[in-house]
Amino acid sequence: MAFILAKKLKMTQFFDTEDKVHPATLLVAEPNEVSLIRIKEKDGYEAVQVSLGKNKREFPLEEGVEIKKGDKINVSVFSENDKIRVSALSKGKGFQGVVKRHGFHGGPRTHGQKHSEREPGSIGATGPQRVFKGRRMSGRMGGDRITIKNLKVLAIDKEANQLLVSGAVPGRRGTLVEVRSVN
C-alpha cells in the first residue's frame, strides 16, 4: 500500500493523449519522513507514522513491508493511472442557515410572508413540547473530514514533488491531504 502526505496547491485542467480535457488537482508532496513505527508486540497493531513538517499521520502497515524510522517517502511510490483515495478537511463555511446548509426551499415569496423567505418553518414543538434530537437546523457548516475514493493519478513530477490527481480534492489551497493507494 502506497501513502503520502501532501498539500493542495490548485485545481487545473489536464489534456490526455486524445485531447480530452479532465479537471485535475495539483498536490505538492514534499518527501515525508517516517517518524515512528508501531509494532504488534508493543502497541497491539502495525502502523507507520509519517510527518510532513509539523503534521503527523499514521497509516496501517501491510505485513512483509520493510520500513524503518528515518526513511523518506516521496511521490515515486505512486505511478500514473494508479487508483487512489484522498482524505482532507473540507472548506469551513461558518454559521449557515437551513437553506444553504440543508437545501431547504424556504417559504413562499407572497401570501403574507414579509421577511421569512429563508426560514426553516415549524420545528415540531406541538406534541411533546420539545425539539427532537437530530432536527436539521442552522449551524456551523464545513470543516469535516471528507474522503474521495477511486481518483486517478494523471501525472507525476518527481523533480518538483508534485502529483496531478483527477477530479476535485476537498479543502482550500494549502490544506493537508492524505493520499493512499486503493487495493
Question: Could you tell me the three cell numbers for 131?
Answer: 425539539
* CA 89 – CA 87 distance, rounded (Å): 7
* CA 104 – CA 88 distance, rounded (Å): 27
Q: How confident is the model at residue 64 (pLDDT cuts 50, 70, 90)?
A: confident
Specify the pTM: 0.83
Query: What is the share, in percent, of the chain residues with pLDDT greater than 90?
Result: 71
**Pairing, β 162-166 against β 145-157:** antiparallel
Question: Could you tell me the three cell numbers for 44?
Answer: 497491539
The answer to whether 72 and 26 have CB atoms below 8 angstroms apart is no
Q: How confident is the model at residue 56 (pLDDT cuts 50, 70, 90)?
A: very high
Backbone angles phi, psi at 150, to 5 degrees: 60, 40
Give me the count of residues in the chain.
183
Q: Is 63 exposed, middle or buried (0-12, 13-18, 19+ CB in 10 A)?
A: exposed
Backbone angles phi, psi at 103, to 5 degrees: 80, 25
Mean pLDDT of 59-72: 85
Domains of the chain: 1-30+74-104+137-183 (2.40.30.10), 32-66 (no CATH)
pLDDT in tens, 152-181: 999 999 999 999 999 999 999 999 999 999
**What pLDDT sits at residue 142?**
94
* CA 54 – CA 42 distance, rounded (Å): 25
DSSP 92-130: P-EEE-HHHHH------SSTT-SS-TT-------SSSSS
pLDDT in tens, 79-114: 999 999 999 999 999 999 999 999 999 888 888 888
The answer to whether 177 and 169 have CB atoms below 8 angstroms apart is yes
